[in-house]
Amino acid sequence: MMTLRSTLLGIARHEDLNFLLTNRIPRRYATRFVGWLAQIRQPLVRDVSMWAWRLFSDLDLSDARKTRFDSLHDCFIRELKPGARPVDPDAGVMVSPCDAIVGAFGPIEGTRLFQVKGFPYRLEDLLGSAEAAERYRDGVFVTLRLTASMYHRFHAPHDGRVEAVTYLSGDTWNVNPIALKRIENLFCRNERAAIRLRLDATGEAVTLVAVAAILVASVRLRFLDIGLDLRRDGPRTIPCDARLAKGDEMGWFQHGSTIVMLAPAGTTPCADLAEGRTIQVGQRLLALPRR
């Protein structure tokens, strides 16, 4: 006899139904509702919402710093036990900024990159300007998709200085593989924040584009004293001057989402990087140009 969870997971795997249920609903209202619900600090609401969450995900809290949470939101943005994500010490590599499933990655063709095979989009559209796009002409990109049950905090891929954050308003389409195969320019349509980090090792800048999704419209950065509510006030650029060491926490999503990491020409994917692979914070991602 099928359990409720297996039935729901079966529906989720059905592409047409998944797309219908996660995109053909009032995305903005659903996002605001879940954001409100997740913040409620009431034991019954917390327990019921976490039970519902577990129906759709394989939530593993074994590496969490704490296992009792005040709210669903408190669990979403959980911290980890010390040492749970060792950072690769090799000065010649940038590490993954987040726990994620690796999506499309590879060379940027001029200023064109791909959300999936056959679905190109332009850096100009992603970053909001041709000037920002030129930094990564013929460079490298990696798409990192955070699922709902993953650790939601993200970290510095290398030593450097955050010099600007630009965020752009937009929609909240789902960013799962089903939607990526159906919605062109999806990352450029969704709300997003581009975080530019100037590397100490090379003097070049890398950019982490935090892309919002349905149920996700907020990102918190440790080096800014405001929350970036991506439903408002975009596009806008905030100058920064925040020094970070490799592996330092940068901020967190309020729920799962996607980071598109952009690096300049001469950077190369590490040999073991593969589409569909699950990667964790601190693991090897991109090799810096040899000097």
Residues 260, 108, 135: CA angle, nearest 5 degrees: 80
Are 101 and 95 spatial neighbours (Cβ–Cβ below 8 Å)?
no
Residue type, 1: M
Helices 15-23 and 4-13 meet at what angle, rounded to 10? 90
At a CB cut-off of 8 Å and minimum separation 6, what does 143 contact?
Answer: 102, 103, 104, 105, 115, 258, 259, 260, 261
- In the structure encoding, which two tokens stand for residue 257, read together? 């989402």
* Catalytic one of 99, 152, 218, 229: 99
* 99 catalytic per annotation: yes
Are 115 and 180 spatial neighbours (Cβ–Cβ below 8 Å)?
yes
Phi, psi dihedrals of residue 44, rounded to the nearest 5°: -65, -45
* Catalytic one of 71, 96, 149, 257: 257
Are 259 and 154 spatial neighbours (Cβ–Cβ below 8 Å)?
yes
* Catalytic one of 71, 149, 152, 155: 155
Q: Which residues are catalytic?
A: 99, 155, 257
